[in-house]
Homo-oligomer: A and B are copies of this chain.
Amino acid sequence: MLIVQKYGGTSVGNPDRIKAVATRVVATVRQGHKVVVIVSAMSGETDKLIRYAGQVSSNPTEREMDLLLSSGERITTALTSMAISELGQKAIAFTGRQAGIITDAVYTKAKIERIDADKVNKALDNGYAVVIAGFQGVTEDDEITTLGRGGSDLSAVAVAAALNADLCEIYTDVDGVYTTDPNIVPEARKLEKISYEEMLELASLGAKVLQTRSVEFAMNYNVPVVVRSSFNNNPGTLVTKEDQDMEKVVVAGVAYDKNQAKLTVMHVPDKPGIAARLFNTIAEANIVVDVIVQNVSADGLSADISFTVPKTDSRRALELAQRLADDLGAKGVDVRDDLAKISIVGVGMRTHSGVAAQMFGTLSKHGVNIMAISTSEIKVSCLIEAKYTELAVRVLHEEFGLNKHN
């Protein structure tokens, strides 16, 4: 088999842990597999670099930010390769560029456009374990880019897809994907397997175990992904295509996301094309809008348009919305960032009705007010006040039968 293994920041957090990673890699090679290793920066390293940037600049240039942050992964890549060689297994370290990871030029959150895997394939054919720096790539113009927070997951899945790997293992500091955050609900269960669609919803809804785009990528290219711990040999959670077992479960997990800001453009004159203009402007700034709600205003003559964005983008979104509001003669823009999004996810929802109503009822029964709702075929999300997050997660987890004792 050809196996891609990705090790996160805590798994390579110090030289001893890097040696443990090397041991696992070599064990996998000795089982007869070809292995490609993707590594993150040592935990704390990226935060240190961001802190440095903040100390020298109030608004660091994004191009230089990427040059800065990509250094962390290069360090672990070199060290991991050395540690594998030390165990008598040939190994070679590649930067994102050397591994042929070509991205667009959107600094700090670049998208992978393609992977020129020749060099990696050649090294594998020559018996090397190949270690690749995650989180980074290079544009056609030879500029260094990074893929955004959690980007190493994406590097791993994209490399697995490009190499047509049999398996992509994501090693982290938890045992797999849980029905919800075990820090909030100690009864949360580890899932044996989960569908791409469910994982995608959970990932994008704030379950931090796998980066959203990496799940999309895995789904699109049908890459089997296993999430497991680098600190033990437990089997982890397989993320794969939907099957009949999965459909029997109505709700597979409960997710929450506190990184939400809600902007409301008030009293927008009721003219066609205005919403399109607003959301085009936001999209052009590479800000992802999540929930959108449009209401008739209190005056009955105009509309209030509300939408949510990641908190980190709220300042820029506000500037853009404000400017547009002025142009349009809207009344102004209101921001709230004390909100959280709570979601239930499960492919079984497709064939079971009443799930949304059951969620609303449960929240209501515990006095949690719902401020906006969004749904898809396999999930229901509610925007609530952030202070109710833990309560909401707990009662929904119980309500949908996810606790261990069930």
Contacts and interface: CB of A to CB of B under 8 A. Distances in A.
Interface stretch (A52-60, A198-206, A377-385): A52-60
A22 interface: yes
A31 to B, nearest CB: 22
Contacts of A142: 98
A292 interface: no
Contact of A144 (B58, B63, B92, B95): B95
Interface stretch (A64-72, A211-219, A314-322): A64-72
Interface in A255-279: none
Contacts of A55: 15-16, 19
A68 B15 CA distance: 13
Contacts of A52: 15, 75, 79
Contact of A85 (B16, B19, B57): B57
Contacts of A95: 67, 144
A228 interface: no
Nearest to A78: B68
A64 B86 contact: no
A81 interface: yes
Interface string A24-49: 00000000000000000000000001
A74 interface: yes
A261 B358 CA distance: 81
A83 interface: yes
Contacts of A68: 74-75, 78-79, 82
A83 B57 contact: yes
Nearest to A48: B75
Given A93-B64, A98-B142, A56 B83 contact: yes
A88 to B, nearest CB: 12
A376 B78 CA distance: 43
A68 B60 CA distance: 24
A18 interface: yes
Nearest to A97: B142
A61 interface: yes
A172 interface: no
Interface of A: 15-16, 18-19, 22, 49, 52-53, 55-61, 63-65, 67-68, 70-72, 74-75, 77-83, 85-86, 91-93, 95, 98, 142, 144
